[in-house]
A and B are shown apart, each in its own frame.
Chain A
Amino acid sequence: SAVISQKPSRDICQRGTSLTIQCQVDSQVTMMFWYRQQPGQSLTLIATANQGSEATYESGFVIDKFPISRPNLTFSTLTVSNMSPEDSSIYLCSASQVATEAFFGQGTRLTVV
């Protein structure tokens, strides 16, 4: 199994600023994903973080708003750019080495004021 450390666990940010969320995995994993949970909603996939190349974004999410980095097989970051109150959500990273496993960060609760 793998352990994911996600930071920060929560933050309150001013509108117009950017926040970078980090996920560190204690072992190499093939796949890493970033999800968003808006208030009262299910978790929704933002993008798949690809090691050494650009992330693959889901419909409705764009790189300019949610730039993602994955410099190696154990680390990824998600940046929420030019934040507005509508970006207030929980952001979650997950990782998989094989299709039958998934590991999760603890989530980041973001409030934009």
Chain B
Amino acid sequence: KNEVEQSPQNLTAQEGEFITINCSYSVGISALHWLQQHPGGGIVSLFMLSSGKKKHGRLIATINIQEKHSSLHITASHPRDSAVYICAVGSMDSNYQLIWGAGTKLIIKP
């Protein structure tokens, strides 16, 4: 079993839909990161969480430390949100290294 699991692997939705991407982990963490990887490969950091909830524009990230689970939500989705969304955790035991999820490929259709 992978230490960081994302679901779903692939998600196709219509423009305007509310999107939820999940990340579960099995290790003790210092922080959890959500990143966006564009179709060309470029990577952008979206959020870094250690507790609670963060919001930036139409993106919301939450984390439940007790349940070892985080969600990334996109409200009023748009075709430009189409990308791979990756969850990564900083393990307490890994000397700052990150453990990466496999990513969720999101396609928003107009």
Contact = CB atoms under 8 A, between A and B. Distances in A.
Taking chain B's interface residues, is the majority helix, strand, or loop, or is none over half, making it mixed? Answer: strand
Considering residues B86, B95, B97, which has the most beta carbons from chain A within 10 angstroms of its beta carbon? B97
Nearest to A6: B43
Which size bracket describes the interface of B in this complex?
Answer: 20 to 34
Contacts, number: 67
Q: Is the interface on chain A under 10, 10 to 19, 20 to 34, or 35 or more residues? A: 20 to 34
Interface string A4-48: 000001100000000000000000001101010000011111001
Contact of A103 (B30, B45, B92): B45
Contacts of B88: 43, 102
A57 interface: no
Nearest to A43: B100
Interface of B: 30-31, 33, 35, 37, 40-45, 48, 50, 86, 88, 90, 92, 95-98, 100-103
Interface of A: 9-10, 30-31, 33, 35, 41-45, 48, 90, 92, 94, 96, 99-107, 109
